[in-house]
Every structure is written in C-alpha cells, then in structure tokens.
C-alpha cells in the first residue's frame, strides 16, 4: 500500500513531530511505501486567492487549478491511503491544514454536483487515519464535546464527505500534564498505529 502522509506543525522540536517519527518507525516495519508532505517546510500557500476563489465558484471543473494544488492532487492520486498528523489547536486542526483542504479539495476533484445536489468525487482513497496530539486528555475532550466535534468535522465532512470509504481519528491526549509516562504511552501508540496500518 502507498500512503500519502500530510504533516502539519511548525516545529521539529514539538511532540507532534515526535509522533510523526514514531509513526514512521512503526510504518518502517511494514511493506508499505509512503510520501511525506510537511506543510510548513513546503511553505504551502493556504490562503485561497481571488483567482482560485473565482474558479471554485464558477462551478466549471474544466478550469485549471493552481500548479501547487495540482501537485497535491497528483500525490493523492498516487496513494492508496492518507494519514494526517497534526495537533489539536482551539478544537480543530492548524490553520495551515484547514487551508490545505480549502485549496486542494477543489470543485471537479473532491466534489461535483450531478443532477442537482448529489455530489460525486474523483478521490479514490479507501482508508484514512488522522492522528491528533492534544493537550487535554482524550476523556476530557470527549466529556466536554470537543472530541465528537472534531471527529464530525474532520471525518464526516472533510473525508467521508468526499467519497473516502473509511476514516478514523486517534487522539493522543494528556500532553499538557508534561508527564513522561503519558508521553511514552502516546509515542508507543503512534508506533503501533504505523506498524498495524
């Protein structure tokens, strides 16, 4: 299986970067191949400019998409599965990843309306895994409704909503406590997510 990994965090000293490294170490024990996109390292443009906005609202799928967006779509098309690794910031993904979805999930690629409101997609990914380090424990995020909310937006709308068959989210929480034991358990979990992918 070939996996396209989209990683989003500005610091290589972050816990999120350690999660990425642990996941890749686990993935290294499989026969899978992967391609990695570090959105900050790529300096991926996340603001949709007027030209792309005009393209998206024209509902004309024949109009060209920006070259950087086309490159991302080609990477997705080469993949059998996607993995997203990013921190939970203010109950969602970082703005850079949200902008990636805004720009890469274009009309005519992620969705096209056929015969009224029925949407179809050219995305043929079967499986997506989302890994989210978080400051608060997962149980607390569940209790206050944040975990169900971020799952609903990321999984139901951004992923399953464009035709992806299977998507799940793993929250690696509790990091605000700065407890070495919690850190180690979360990194071991990231490793196993890669190994068992």
* CATH number of residue 26's parent domain: 3.40.50.360
3-state secondary structure of 81: strand
pTM: 0.95
Q: Which mean pLDDT values do the consecutive 10-residue runs of the chain (197 residues) have?
A: 98 98 98 98 96 94 95 98 97 97 96 73 95 96 96 95 94 96 98 98
Count of CB atoms within 10 A of residue 193's CB? 21
Domain of 137 in residue numbering reads as 2-195
pLDDT at 118: 59
Q: Could you give the angle at the alpha carbon of 49 between the alpha carbons of 67 and 94, nearest 5°? A: 90
Beta-bridged to residue 171, according to DSSP, are 132
Supply the pLDDT for residue 166: 96
pLDDT, position 120:
85
**Model pLDDT, residue 163:** 85
pLDDT at 178: 93
How many independent structural domains does the chain possess? 1
- The reported pLDDT for the residue numbered 59 is 87
Compute the distance between CA of residue 56 and CA of residue 193 in angstroms, rounded to an integer: 36
CB 133 within 8 A of CB 163: no
Residue 113: per-residue pLDDT:
78
pLDDT the model gives residue 117: 61
């Amino acid at each position: 299986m070939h996996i396209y990994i989209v990683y989003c965090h500005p610091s290589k000293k972050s816990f999120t970067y350690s999660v990425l490294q642990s996941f890749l170490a686990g993935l290294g024990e499989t026969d899978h191949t992967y391609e990695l996109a570090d959105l900050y390292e790529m300096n991926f443009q996340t603001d949709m400019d007027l030209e792309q906005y005009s393209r998206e609202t024209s509902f004309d799928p024949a109009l060209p998409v920006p070259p950087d967006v086309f490159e991302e779509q080609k990477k997705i098309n080469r993949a059998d599965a996607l993995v997203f690794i990013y921190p939970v910031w203010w109950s969602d993904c970082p703005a850079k990843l949200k902008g990636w979805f805004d720009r890469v999930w274009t009309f005519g690629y992620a969705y096209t309306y056929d015969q009224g409101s029925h949407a179809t997609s050219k995305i043929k990914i079967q499986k997506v895994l989302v890994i989210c380090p978080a400051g608060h424990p997962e149980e607390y995020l569940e209790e206050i409704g944040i975990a169900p909310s971020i799952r609903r937006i990321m999984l139901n709308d951004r992923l399953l909503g464009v035709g992806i068959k299977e998507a799940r989210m793993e929250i690696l929480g509790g990091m605000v406590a700065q407890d070495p034991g919690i850190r180690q358990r979360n990194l071991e979990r990231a490793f196993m997510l890669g190994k068992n992918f």
